Amino acid sequence: MKTAALLSMVTAATAHYTFPAVTIGGQSTSNWEVIRQTANHQSTGPIEDVSSRLMSCYELNTAGPWSDTGVLDVQAGASVSFTSSPPIFHPGPALAYLAKVPEGTDVTQWDASGAVWFKIWQDEPTISSDSITFPTMDSPTIDFSLPSCLESGQYLLRVEHIALHSAGAPQFYLSCAQINVSGGSGGYNPAGMLSFPGAYSLSDPGLSANIYWPVPTSYTAPGGPVGSC
């Protein structure tokens, strides 16, 4: 009985994950070097309340400033790879958002409140008659690229994985990197400006979906479409 209980506890713990490090344009960071340390940095547990203030960046320090976290200089269009620790354990979509820091403000002082976020990337599942499969399942990273047409300046880069293994009770795993972008052509067109919290509702089809039965014939992630150059 004790062995079974211990195995259950280990399984529950390893089912959770964080995103503590990132590689952008070949520059790799250590854990929490440029990513604001999240409230789950020890427990690795998810956010389950879409109305929580933590939906922004899941910061351990919600009041700021975040001057103990560095800022990574990157090029527009650079490849991005967020490390998942441990690898992603649950099925669900991965998404990436940016929020541009206002002129005259420093990213280390900014809480990104209000409708300042826009989606720059999301993955797409493979759907068959008997299953829906998400690309990041069991993956040690979430990989995408920054838009090449970003305006130069400081941003918060928000990566998110939404676990859908329990129908109607999604789990949110996320973190934010502080970056300074240069070399972009400018002119990125967001598909919409979003607030976190506020962008999601548990009634959104992409959050309320039962991915096991009946198997969905399509899937639309929350947060609206991705913008374009």
Residue 138 lies in a domain: yes
Residue 80 lies in a domain: yes
Residue 103 lies in a domain: yes
**Closest of 87, 77, 86, 100 to residue 24, by C-alpha:** 77
Check if the beta carbon of residue 57 is closer than 8 Å to that of residue 39. Answer: no
**What are the tens digits of pLDDT across the range 160-183?**
999 999 988 999 999 999 999 999
Q: Which residue has the tokens 């809480």?
A: 111
Half-sphere exposure (CA, 13 Å, Cβ side) for 60?
Answer: 17
**What are the tens digits of pLDDT across the range 12-68?**
445 899 999 999 999 999 999 999 999 999 999 999 999 999 999 999 999 999 999
Residue 228 lies in a domain: no
Q: Is residue 105 predicted with pLDDT exceeding 90?
A: yes
Number of structural domains, the chain? 1
In whole angstroms, give the CA distance from residue 197 to residue 16: 21
Residue 15 lies in a domain: no
Residue 164 belongs to domain spanning: 23-200
pLDDT of res. 15: 84
Please, which residues have CB within 8 angstroms of residue 52's CB and are 6 or more apart in sequence?
Answer: 197
pLDDT of res. 6: 32
Check if the beta carbon of residue 99 is closer than 8 Å to that of residue 117. Answer: yes
Residue 5 lies in a domain: no
Residue 46 lies in a domain: yes
What is the domain-level CATH number for residue 186?
Answer: 2.70.50.70
Residue 145 lies in a domain: yes
